Structure 1
Amino acid sequence: MTTHASKETVAARLAQLPYLPMENLWALWDQYFDRRPGHHHRTWLESRLAYKIQEEAFGAMSQSLKRRLEKIGETGEVPNQKRRAENQLAPGATLIREYNGIAHQVKVLDDGRFEYQAGAYKSLSAVAKAITGTAWSGPAFFGLRQPAPKRQGAMA
């Protein structure tokens, strides 16, 4: 684990990059890379050097993180890890929940959204709110996971 002092040292090194003369930037570049790039864009050089300095101090990114970042770069969408229970539902699956004596059916769409009464919703929580009129955890409402325990001191 990296100590707080070394984080400060890394931060100080990164903060110095914009103020280094180009010959010092190139000397630093030569420490980390085998070849110099074909262009001399200072901010690009600084960003690559900053990455290498951090990688040296804190370690390289895991392959799974690299893949995740590449996917975000390609699609522009940041996956919401809190929706894990929803993401495990197969497209075409139907969820049925009885509420106030009425059976409510929700279909999982191919694009990860949910169809309820001819409308498409981005999350099960949005569907649960449409059904109940109040904010609910969608996965808890549809029985995909246990509802969060009530906090002590909360009003009943």
Structure 2
Amino acid sequence: MSPELAVEIGRLEKMTVDQLVAKYEVTFGEVCRSRHKRYLIRRIAWRMQAKVEGGLSDRARKTANRLAATSDARQTPPRDMSVFEKRPKPKSTKTKEPVVDPRLPPPGNWIERQYKGRMISVLVLERGFEFSGKWYRSLSAIANEVCGTNYNGFEFFKLGKKPPKGKS
């Protein structure tokens, strides 16, 4: 990596989230859907390096897009929504309402905790949580990954005790 590129990437660390979002939109030519500072820095730095040092070949990019569009393990929906039209419709039209724990903030909010000098930021979703760009079913799964041992997610994030049954 050239020294000029390293300096330019170093400047990203000092930018605010709003500045990073604007830089992301200019760099990628699309609307930014994230407000996660670390994610934005990594994506922008990757793109800057790819422009200077060369990115994927056209053949590799086409293969990756083809594989990602048909994969069942996606993090975000594909840009080409026709992939979903080919799949069979679900048989049941009934959907279960998700059970929401009263200790959790509403979907779209962040839960943060300092752990061993590292800020752990988790986005609350309608069903589950997002941490480091991956989806998790429970806070305990995230706590286990961070700590490397079994840990109650609500205790790890200091969200209090569960209220007794019958009381809310």
Q: Is the TM value for this pair above 0.5? A: no
Answer 1 or 2: which has greater helix percent.
1
TM-score by length of 1: 0.39
Which structure has the bigger radius of gyration?
1
TM-score by length of 2: 0.36
